[in-house]
Amino acid sequence: MDRRNFYPVFILLALIAVWEFLVRLFEVPSYILPPPSGIFQTFAVNFSLLLRHTLVTLEEILLGIILALALAFPLALVMFFRKSLERAFYPLLIASQAIPVFALAPLFVYWFGYSILSKVLMAALIVFFPITLNLLQGIRDADRDLVDLLWVAGATKWQILWKIRFPWALPFLFAGLKIGVSVSTIGAVIGEWVGSEEGLGYLMLHANAQLRISLIFASILILSAIGLALFYGVELLERALLPWKRRDRKWEEKG
């Protein structure tokens, strides 16, 4: 293991060890704070149960992210090309973030029912904002001189959009996507808390009612794992799609 990976893993293991030690030392009852070993045991025993609910939540999150992306592109484009529409939409966009998702969850469940739709919408609402704003900023931020270069050559505004502004905006889009996906779990879980029959949020509510605290911890662990996996997944995708961003040694000319 190289040095870069060593520290995060070491810190994590150390924290788990301290947790285990303190719980045993002070004999904390497991319905208050279970020791890590207890949580891992719960994991093993309830594996299929956890897996079933994890898949539900994961589906909600992924669909939410896809929906957010599908909405972000046309909206960012419309706001870029029509200043008046930007002025109209921008405050709404901000307002959509000013309203706490917690407040919207009961409404969404009321409107769209216990089905997956209300949770997908909750996740999408959270992810949508950073993606759209970053995409818009990236499209706008494109180097003026590059745009002029193609314009002078006679390129249409769509060619300029496609060949200059979109590629320019990609790193911005990925930055927004990373912020979005790492908080996407929040939307889905809140949606499940308010009204659902499956998913990790639902499981946590039930575990709570039955004082199965270690099951709650196991769910939280899975949720953070999902957030991490999504974040690094986006990062991998970024590295694959934006090879020019990788820093290589410069070629020095000889002779």
Cβ closest to another protein, residue 26 vs residue 158: 158
Cβ closest to another protein, residue 38 vs residue 167: 167
- With binding defined as CB under 8 A, does residue 155 bind another protein? yes
Cβ closest to another protein, residue 126 vs residue 169: 169
Q: Which of 104, 126, 164, 230 binds another protein (CB under 8 A)?
A: 164
* Rounded Cα gap, residues 59 and 179, in angstroms: 19
Write the secondary structure of 43-98 as one string of H (helix), E (strand) and C (coil).
HHHCHHHHHHHHHHHHHHHHHHHHHHHHHHHHHHHHHHHCHHHHHHHHHHHHHHHH
- With binding defined as CB under 8 A, does residue 145 bind another protein? yes
- With binding defined as CB under 8 A, does residue 253 bind another protein? yes
Q: Which of 2, 154, 209, 240 binds another protein (CB under 8 A)?
A: 154
Q: Which of 66, 71, 150, 221 binds another protein (CB under 8 A)?
A: 150
* Rounded Cα gap, residues 86 and 149, in angstroms: 26
**Shortest distance, position 127 Cβ to another protein, whole Å:** 25
Cβ closest to another protein, residue 29 vs residue 255: 255
**Shortest distance, position 241 Cβ to another protein, whole Å:** 10
- With binding defined as CB under 8 A, does residue 170 bind another protein? yes
* Rounded Cα gap, residues 196 and 202, in angstroms: 6
Q: Which of 9, 107, 149, 229 binds another protein (CB under 8 A)?
A: 149
- With binding defined as CB under 8 A, does residue 247 bind another protein? yes
Q: Which of 38, 106, 167, 227 binds another protein (CB under 8 A)?
A: 167
- With binding defined as CB under 8 A, does residue 143 bind another protein? yes
Interface residues with another protein (CB under 8 A)? Answer: 143, 145-146, 148-156, 159, 163-164, 167, 170, 242-244, 247-253
